Amino acid sequence: MDATGLAYFAAGIGAGLTIIGGAAGIGKLAAAALEGIARQPNAAGDIRGAMIVAAGLIEGVTFFALIVTILLAIK
Amino acid sequence: MSALNLLLQAAHAEAPTAHQTAEAGGHAAEGGHGPAEIIMHHVSDTVFFGFPSKHLIFFGLAALLVLLVTRLAIRSYRQGQVPRGLGAAVESVVLFIRDDIAEASIGHGDGRKYTPLLCSFFFFILIAALLGLVPLPTYENGKWGLAGTTSTGNIAVTMALAGISFVAQQYAGISKYGLVGHFKNLIPSGLPVWLLPIMIPVEILSMFTKPFALMIRLFANMLAGHMVITTLLLLIALMGKLSWMAGVLMTPVSIALGLFIMLLEILVAFIQAYIFTLLTALFIGMYAHPAH
């Protein structure tokens, strides 16, 4: 296995790990937000706004890792 | 060598006449390149009808469209009391930005001052992202291809947007408290002295990581959508090189998945425009009201 093969290997593993992390974060976030909306339907709008912001932050961090894996795959 | 590359080469030796199915993939018709090169060619800055940079063209196009849409929206105010059509649509978005983003995050007095900037961010990012979903033709090296591109999928463009956001954040603090007061506000008062050597570098670092995160988030979101759509369409060409029938069978699956991602991208365009605007407003509010 040469260096390029290892880089592709690392990119694939990295992309998988990134998705695991991002999905766990956004899943917990959505679960908590849905529970909050179910308990307090009046606050649905506020909760949804806060949920989108937090999802955006999690997604941003996930994309940092994804960019690294893309760089591994194309360099 | 990637596995896909090897697959391509092996398949090419067996079925060299599979070029018709390869044409269906648009950019996949480059020939001789691996999938990674084709995907990168699609998302990187290339020639567009003789112009050296397609991102620059689409950047200008997005800016022109923003100006046109807002001018047309303003015109409907002059004609009557209640805006109709486009004017009403733009008004609802502007009102949302002013009331739910600017005034809610920055405060009732200051929010109004930053609304024009936030509206510019929102409309530019939204229209630039939606432009990328319009399949426009391009002509390059004697071949036709698809060139619907998002200018915010270029890191230089998002860097400029994040730079404007950074200047606005610092301006919010400096214009309100003065240069010295602004930097004093970065550190919460009442901290023990031994914490200062840790807190000062951390706060100065976070000043720069905020716009940096804005830059990467928008860039990666716009890049990722286009890469996924290209990859799904590329599957047709890859399968077509394996066998003629596989390419034909793959086509409806690829197009259905690509269509789904494209619909998702419309949602992402609105969400990213909203998030960039909202985070800029939150950061401005953070510097304008350092108490919390």
Query: In tens digits, what is the pLDDT along chain A, a chain of 75 residues?
Result: 677 888 888 889 999 999 999 999 999 999 999 999 999 989 888 888 888 888 888 888 888 888 888 888 776
Of A53, A67, A70, which is closest to B278 when you measure between CB atoms? A53
Chain A and chain B share a number of CB contacts under 8 A equal to: 38
Which of B216, B218, B231, B268 would you mutate first to test chain A, the one with the most A CBs within 10 A?
B216
Answer whether residue B206 shows pLDDT above 80. yes
Across the range B98-123, mean pLDDT stands at 88
Closest CA to B113 of B292, B291, B281: B281
- pLDDT one-digit tens code per residue, B127-159: 999 988 887 777 766 677 666 788 888 889 999
State the nearest Cα–Cα gap between A11 and chain B, in angstroms: 11
Rounded to whole angstroms, what are the CA distances from B34 to B7, B47, B189?
10, 20, 58
Residue of chain B with shortest Cα separation from A7:
B2
What's the CATH number for A3-74?
A: 1.20.20.10
> In this complex, do A49 and B221 lie within 8 Å of one another by their Cβ atoms?
no
CB neighbours (10 Å) of residue B286?
18
Spans of all domains in chain A: 3-74
- pLDDT one-digit tens code per residue, B51-66: 777 888 889 889 999 9
> In this complex, do A73 and B36 lie within 8 Å of one another by their Cβ atoms?
yes
Which of B217, B274, B286 would you mutate first to test chain A, the one with the most A CBs within 10 A?
B217
Question: CB of B126 within 8 A of CB of B96?
Answer: no
Rounded to whole angstroms, what are the CA distances from B102 to A17, A23, B205, B283?
36, 30, 25, 11
Of A5, A49, A74, which is closest to B36 when you measure between CB atoms? A74
> In this complex, do B217 and A5 lie within 8 Å of one another by their Cβ atoms?
no
ipTM, 2 decimals? 0.74
A-chain residues near B272 (CB < 8 A):
56
